């Protein structure tokens, strides 16, 4: 039996999946896959916003009590994703970096035990910059032109955050930047991560 590929995003904050990978999540679902967004459980307002954002994208929401390697191992065991997206370990935001480090710490044992995931990626960061002010290396580019409005609607569900004046305009700038790289209107970009010392080949995510 052929199963739908499962995409899992593990992010530090409730609006991160929409901001950095919302179009890719929506596209993955529209092309026959399933997706889960995993974020830490915060206050009721942020949880309600995360629920609304995931629903708009068509994804399931998984709330983590703690963002630890052990909790992420449990998440990976339960979800059995084919693809994982998280932050960069070179992200400007320290909580993003810690999230990425814990995901990477959990991956080897899970891949050996379950064979999942087969591919892992890190996403973009604030204004496409790493800690040293150098643009992040993001060679895997996903066309999200047809999913752009869904991404923005999902991002705008996080209305306790500075979406209109800060995150929304940044998302627009980054999507157009990456879109120009492939001759499209809007795109999101990622960097494939080695799993057990191997970088799997893939035409997309």
DSSP string of 136-192, one letter each residue: P---EEEE-GGGHHHHHHHHHT-TTSSIIIIIHHHHHHHHHHHHHHHTSS-EEEEEE
Which secondary-structure segment (H or E) carries 61?
strand 60-64
At 6-60, the pLDDT tens digits run 999 999 999 999 999 999 999 999 999 999 999 999 999 999 999 999 999 999 9
Residue 139 buriedness (CB in 10 A; 0-12 / 13-18 / 19+): exposed
Using pLDDT thresholds of 50, 70 and 90, give the confidence band for residue 83.
Answer: very high
Domains and CATH numbers, the chain: 6-193 (3.40.50.10320)
Rounded CA separation 78/74 (Å):
6
Q: Which residues contact 41 (CB under 8 A, 6 or more apart)?
A: 47, 63, 64, 65
CB 185 within 8 A of CB 112: no
CB-CB neighbours of 199 under 10 Å:
11
pTM (2 d.p.): 0.96
CB 155 within 8 A of CB 19: yes
At 87-134, the pLDDT tens digits run 999 999 999 999 999 999 999 999 999 999 999 999 999 999 999 999
């Amino acid at each position: 039996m052929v199963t739908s590929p499962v995409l899992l995003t593990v992010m530090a904050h409730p609006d991160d999946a929409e901001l950095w990978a919302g179009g890719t999540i929506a596209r993955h679902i529209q092309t026959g896959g399933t997706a889960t967004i995993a974020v830490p459980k915060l206050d009721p307002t942020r949880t309600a916003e995360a629920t609304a954002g995931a629903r708009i994208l068509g994804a399931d929401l998984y709330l983590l009590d703690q963002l630890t390697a052990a909790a992420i191992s449990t998440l990976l065991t339960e979800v059995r994703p084919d693809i994982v997206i998280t932050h960069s370990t070179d992200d400007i935001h320290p909580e993003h970096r810690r999230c990425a480090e814990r995901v990477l710490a959990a991956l080897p044992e899970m891949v050996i035990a379950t064979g999942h995931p087969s591919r892992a990626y890190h996403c973009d960061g604030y204004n496409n910059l790493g800690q040293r002010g150098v643009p992040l290396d993001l060679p895997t580019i996903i066309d999200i032109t047809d999913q752009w409005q869904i991404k923005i609607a999902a991002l705008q569900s996080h209305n306790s955050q500075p979406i209109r004046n800060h995150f929304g305009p940044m998302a627009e700038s980054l999507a157009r930047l990456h879109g120009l790289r492939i001759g499209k209107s809007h795109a999101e970009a990622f960097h494939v991560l080695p799993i057990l010392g191997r970088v799997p080949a893939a035409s997309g995510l």
